[in-house]
Amino acid sequence: MKIELDVNGKHMSAEVEERTTLADCLRYEFGLTGTHLGCEHGVCGACTVIVNGAAVRSCLILAVQADGDSVTTVEGLSNDDALTPLQASFRKHHALQCGFCTPGMVTTAHALLTHEPNADEDRVRDVLSGNICRCTGYISIVEAVLDARSAYGRDGQ
Amino acid sequence: MKLSPVRYAAPTSVEEAVALLATCDAKIISGGQSLMPIMAFRLASPELLVDLKKIKGLGDIVLDSEGLHLGAKVKWIEIETDVRLKTAHPLLTKAIEHVAHYQIRNRGTVGGSLAHADPASEMPAIAACCDAVISVVGSGGLRKINAADFFVGALQTRLEPDEIIVKILLPPWPATRRWGFQEFSRRRGDFALAGIAAYFDVEPDGRATNAHIAVFGASDYQRRLTGAEAELNGKKPTADTFAAAARAAAAEVDPPSDIHAPADYRRALVETLTGRALADANR
């Protein structure tokens, strides 16, 4: 089945099998391998992308369901040259070790701070509870997200 | 794991979707937050997925004299962010806070949760607790099913293979109603090992009436605990009354044992959580 979608601001189309998940479509059809697949059944959060403004798990959406939608992957959240404030904050706080969970952490955090730039630590922890990091870097990840709030228009910053 | 091959259709009307369901081994998909994992495990391999994406009118949240109408396609995030519901149905909004994780709440739907009928899920618990009425449409037309009759076992409902849930109606919620919601899981957002949704009203003489206590997680399906409710009705809502109701609740559940928790542990949770939910209701 042919699908057309907006991916990171570019119009893209692909001929996919109906059973193809959005995650596999992004990786294999579009070559956007920044989206990582950990569990493939909606538990680990590594495959999180932003569809029509909302953070969702791309392993739990069929590519054909996303036909006509606007998708932002971790590639769409980076600059060509310099780190974005959120990326720089992850680096500053050592918020990654092996890096496998990082794309999901970054997309989730970006969606959260876009909608809720004043999110407090409890809220950040609540939201990131949907993303598993097996290097156990949660403390530094939470610190990185909290520190990046100013770049998203947090009150008084 | 990857899904089995499947066909896909996105009809634009409920009637068209019902007709498609009758053609083969077909499943409805909307948010897909329960169906997709099941298909990924290959526990289900339907021939056809019928997506509700293009059907208009199933995503409304309406408050009127009949109560609160939630369309089948209403997402958890929409309940969370609808400021009216914090007063119009505080028990519902509290329960929905416990549903899964951020990314799931952005996509999972009311109708999907009811149709999937996981014994540990919150929406069926609210449906059972509040005597909700579930509207379904199939080849025989529209029918309304009381929540008490809708859930019949783990992942089992009265829904026929060619029927689609279109909405759920929660009866009006008096502002003076006392309510509590308690859920226990090992980690935030995990499936509940046990949970209790409860409410009661208070007569002018201070006695509790109209008690509704529903269990989830520690039962094959979400249902009211009538023995516990009987301990509460007609009594003053005191700590002793709540303790008696909590004991009765534990006595009338027959929880499953699995790798997550043994039956005895879940039964103990039911007693503790019933006590806490009623204490919360009394605040």
Where in the sequence is the domain holding B21, given as residue range(s)?
Answer: 7-51
Contact A19 B5 (CB under 8 A): yes
- Scanning A58-97 for CB atoms below 8 A from B yields 59-62, 64-65
Residue B104 touches chain A, beta carbons under 8 Å: yes
Domains in chain B, number: 3
Chain B residue closest in CA terms to A69: B53
Examine residue B56 and state whether it is found in any structural domain, yes or no.
Answer: no
The CATH class of A85-151 is mainly alpha
At CB < 8 A and 24+ separation, what contacts does A148-151 make?
A148/A85, A148/A86, A148/A89, A148/A109, A148/A113, A149/A113, A149/A117, A149/A118, A149/A119, A150/A85, A151/A84, A151/A85, A151/A86, A151/A89, A151/A113
Rounded Cα distance between A32 and B145, Å, is 46
In this complex, the residue of B3, B41, B103 whose CB is nearest that of residue A45 is: B103
Hey, are the CB atoms on A19 and B3 less than 8 Å from each other?
Answer: yes
Of the two residues A132 and A136, the one the predictor is more confident about is: A132
| Residue B196 contacts residue B213 (beta carbons within 8 Å) | yes
- Could you report the predicted ipTM of this complex, rounded to two decimals? 0.94
Nearest to A48 by CA among A100, A120, A118: A100
Give the alpha-carbon dihedral of B248, B250, B256, B260, to 10 degrees: 160
Name the strands in the sheet holding A54-57, side by side, starting at the edge strand that comes first in the sequence: A10-15, A2-7, A70-72, A48-51, A54-57
Strand, helix or coil at B125? helix
CA dist A56 and B87 (Å) reads 28
Q: Are the Cβ atoms of B29 and A40 closer than 8 angstroms? A: no
The residue behind tokens 């990314």 is: B103
B187/A56 CB distance under 8 A: no
Q: State the CATH number of the domain containing residue B22.
A: 3.30.43.10
Strands B67-71 and B61-64: antiparallel
**Residues B227, B269 within the same domain:** yes
B21 within a domain of the structure (yes/no):
yes
Q: How far apart are CA A87 and CA A114, in angstroms?
A: 15
Q: Are residues B243 and B144 in the same domain?
A: no
Q: How far is A58 from chain B (nearest CA, A)?
A: 10
Q: In what order do the strands lie in the sheet with B178-184?
A: B178-184, B194-202, B208-216, B223-224
Write down the CATH number for the domain with range A2-75. Answer: 3.10.20.30
Q: Which residues on chain A are in Cβ contact (under 8 Å) with B49?
A: 18, 62
Work out the angle between the directed axes of helices A102-115 and A138-147 (0-180°, nearest 10). Answer: 40
User: Do B152 and B68 have their domain in common?
Assistant: yes
Binned at pLDDT 50, 70 and 90, residue A153 comes out as: confident
CB contact, 8 Å: B49 with chain A?
yes
In this chain, the answer to whether the domains covering A2-75 and A85-151 adopt an identical fold is: no
d(CA A127, CA B110) in angstroms, rounded, equals 20
Give residue-wise pLDDT tens across range B225-261.
Answer: 999 999 999 999 999 999 999 999 999 999 989 999 9
Query: Are residues B85 and B166 located together in one domain of the fold?
Result: yes
Q: What mean pLDDT comes out for the span A63-87?
A: 94
Query: What is d(CA B222, CA B129) in angstroms, rounded to the nearest whole number?
Result: 8
* Alpha-carbon gap, residue B202 to B184, rounded angstroms: 27
Phi-psi region of B137 (alpha: psi -120 to 50; beta: other; left: phi over 0): beta
CA distance B108 to A55: 12
- My answer on whether B106 and B147 are in the same domain is yes
B12 close contact with A: CB closer than 8 A: no
| Domain range summary for chain A, segments of one domain joined by + | 2-75, 85-151
pLDDT tier at B202, thresholds 50, 70, 90: very high
* Interface residue A17 vs chain B (CB under 8 A): yes
Give the pair of three-digit tokens for residue B125: 């618990």
- Whether B97 and B142 share a structural domain: yes
B8/A126 CB distance under 8 A: no
pLDDT per residue as tens digits for the range A28-66: 999 999 999 999 999 999 999 999 999 999 999 999 999
d(CA B136, CA B155): 17
Averaged pLDDT for residues B36-45: 96
